């Protein structure tokens, strides 16, 4: 039976291969399509990405250690009527030893010019699925009213005492993807 997580709640993962599914539905009548983007930041002990490719998103679908794989962008939120809109597959046994945390963030693409925010999104969640059994292990539903935020840190996997744990974060930002990249990566982006 899946655990329904509350903001700030932490659990032991106890899995090696899992998928992190993210889902959402834009409110009806909000005009343009909502392009929400799921991203993962693989962070070292210095709270930074050791190399550019440890930022996994629709434009870089695989981490260098092959531990993370983004299954693809959903520019409209229409990939699934009732399921995950974007998924990041994780093999915790393959994660580079430098990586201490994997942060999962969802941002709204072109939120400012489109005048969009998470207050116009409903049923948003992050869930952990066991890839071996395809069973949902835990789910965190974002029920807070993020009326002005354009980016949300949904959750994070982190190492503690040699084990992987998950924390439901639910931290909102009035920022875009570039903000998170500048926060966790200090190197030069190669275009």
pLDDT (tens place) for every residue of the chain, 191 residues total: 678 999 999 999 999 999 999 888 877 665 677 788 899 999 999 999 999 999 999 999 999 999 999 998 665 555 455 678 899 999 999 999 999 999 999 898 888 888 888 888 888 888 999 999 999 999 998 876 677 889 989 999 999 999 999 999 989 999 888 889 889 987 655 44
| CATH assignment of the domain containing 115 | 2.60.60.30
Residue-number span of the structural domain to which 18 is assigned: 3-184
Query: Quick check: is 191 in a domain?
Result: no
pTM: 0.89
Residue 135 tokens, joined: 């069973």
Query: Quick check: is 189 in a domain?
Result: no
Query: Quick check: is 156 in a domain?
Result: yes
Give the total number of structural domains in the chain.
1
**178 Cβ partners below 8 Å, 6+ apart?**
none
Which long-range contacts does 179-184 make (Cβ < 8 Å, 24+ apart)?
179/151, 180/39, 180/41, 180/105, 180/107, 180/151, 181/55, 184/41, 184/43, 184/47, 184/48, 184/49, 184/55, 184/103
Query: Quick check: is 67 in a domain?
Result: yes
Query: Quick check: is 190 in a domain?
Result: no
Query: Quick check: is 29 in a domain?
Result: yes
Query: Quick check: is 116 in a domain?
Result: yes
């Amino acid at each position: 039976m899946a655990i329904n997580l509350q903001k700030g709640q932490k659990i032991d993962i106890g899995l090696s291969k899992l998928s992190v599914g993210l889902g959402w539905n834009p409110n009806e009548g909000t005009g343009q399509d909502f392009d929400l983007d799921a991203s993962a930041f693989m962070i070292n002990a210095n709270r930074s990405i050791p190399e550019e490719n440890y930022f996994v998103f629709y434009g870089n679908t695989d981490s260098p250690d092959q531990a993370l794989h983004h299954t693809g962008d959903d520019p409209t939120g229409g990939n699934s009527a009732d399921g995950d809109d974007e998924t990041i597959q994780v093999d915790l046994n393959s994660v580079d030893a430098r990586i201490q945390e994997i942060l999962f963030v969802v941002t709204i693409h072109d939120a400012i010019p489109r005048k969009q925010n998470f207050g116009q999104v409903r049923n948003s969640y992050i869930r952990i699925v066991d890839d071996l059994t395809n069973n949902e292990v835990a789910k965190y539903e974002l029920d807070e009213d993020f009326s002005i935020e354009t980016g949300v840190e949904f959750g994070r996997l982190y190492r503690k005492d040699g084990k992987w744990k998950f924390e439901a974060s639910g931290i909102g930002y009035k920022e875009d993807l570039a903000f998170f990249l500048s926060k966790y990566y200090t190197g030069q982006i190669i275009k």
